[in-house]
Amino acid sequence: MNTDKRTEISTLGEFRLIEKLTSEIKPQHSSTIQGVGDDAAVLEYNEDKYSLVTTDMLLEGVDFDLTYFPLKHLGYKAIVASCSNIYAMNGTPTSATVAIGVSAKFSVEDLEELYSGIRAACDDYGIDLVGGDTRASMTGLAITITTIGEVGKDKIVRRDGAKLHDLICITRDLGAAFLGLKLLEREKIALGGVKNGQPKFDGYEYLLRRQLKPEARRDVIEELAAQEIIPTSMIDISDGLASELLHICKNSKCGARIYLERMPIARETYKLAEELHLDPVTAALNGGDDHELLFTVPLALQEKVAQLGYGVEIIGHITEESTGAALVTPDGSIIELKAQGFHGN
């Protein structure tokens, strides 16, 4: 390792780090339409459609904790999270590869559990599992999912198309997955060392489901297609609304105003947030793991979008770039949105 100069990764943040590492990369093939910098890469293999490729790594101890996260659910969620990136390009996932690093603490039966979740998600989302690599690891479990999808060339939606006065829409709801995680963490501590202890989840089943068995918004993408609505920009909310909206603003060179009272937060999220002395709005803005969609549509589509259903909510609008991205509270205060650091989930 380089010892002459040392810049801590934490000083950069994940997005600036990736930018720094990939900034010099220039595509050589005319078939590479878009490389690094959106939810998925865009490749051109035929006249009608683009191919989409997205890759994500999940690491034990950072992205998941197996003391409360069942392996089957982990497999399911890994596929869902990857699919969500394809939907965020207005595409359809078609195939996936899975690479797994696994230490000796896992048995064959454990891996079968993990794969049963992977297969269930592949079935639910119409994906062919086309490749796999399994390696011995020294420590714990590492999973990389690469999903390939497709999208009509006239249907593709990126992060860079939001225009002034466009409506900002999200699918409901936000913050529940984060509170589900907090609940699991609380019960892990409460039960520390107690064998066969019974965690207390009563009344919060919804939050647990949002964390342990999330769904990608295939339904929304299909409904947008049925209603012939093509968003001007779109991204999936894996790192929290604030961070994702900032991506759209940066890529589309625009500002944004979103309204606190429009934020879709579930009743259970409010309730547990109060119990745990957490701010539900912060959970919605920065919590992550929601796998909902954030997209923009022209103002002219307001009525059509309002009637969409499927949990689609209009929460604000696109503004001039110079105004920045901010949350407006009911009393008219303006709170600037900030991106998260390296560990943002």
Closest by Cα among 76, 43, 69 to 151: 43
What is the closest distance, in whole angstroms, from the C-beta atom of residue 66 to a second copy in the complex? 7
Q: What's the min distance (Å) between Cβ of 330 and a second copy?
A: 37
- φ and ψ of 222, to 5 deg: -65, -40
For residue 6 the two structure tokens come to: 């040392």
**52 vs 260, beta carbon nearer a second copy:** 52
Q: Closest distance between a second copy and the C-beta of residue 39, in Å?
A: 10
- Cis-peptide into 173, omega within 30 deg: yes
For position 55 contacting a second copy by CB under 8 A, the verdict is: yes
**Comparison of 30 and 322: residue with beta carbon closer to a second copy:** 30
Whole-angstrom distance, CA of residue 341 vs CA of residue 255: 21
- Please tell me whether residue 188 binds a second copy under the rule CB under 8 A: no
For a second copy, the binding residues in 262-301 under the rule CB under 8 A are none
* Ramachandran angles phi, psi of 26, nearest 5°: -120, 125
CB 298 within 8 A of CB 230: no
Beta bridge partners of 259: 328
C-alpha span between 83 and 54 (Å, rounded): 8
> Residue 168: exposed, middle, or buried by beta-carbon count in 10 A (0-12, 13-18, 19+)?
buried
Q: 68, 83, 119, 279: which one contacts a second copy (CB under 8 A)? A: 119
73-112 residues in contact with a second copy (CB under 8 A) are 94-95, 97-102, 104-112
DSSP characters for 69-86? S-HHHHHHHHHHHHHHHH
- By the rule CB under 8 A, 199 interacts with a second copy: no
Residue 181 sits in the site that holds a second copy (CB under 8 A): no
State which of positions 128-147 bind a second copy (CB under 8 A).
128-140, 142, 144, 146
Nearer to a second copy among residue 13 and residue 298 (C-beta): 13
Nearer to a second copy, 110 or 219 (CB): 110
- Should residue 302 be labelled a site residue for a second copy when binding is judged by CB under 8 A? no
Question: Considering Cα of 7, then 10, then 11, then 14, what sign does the dihedral take?
Answer: positive
Binding of residue 43 to a second copy (CB under 8 A): yes
66 binds a second copy (CB under 8 A): yes
Q: Does 29 bind a second copy (CB under 8 A)?
A: yes
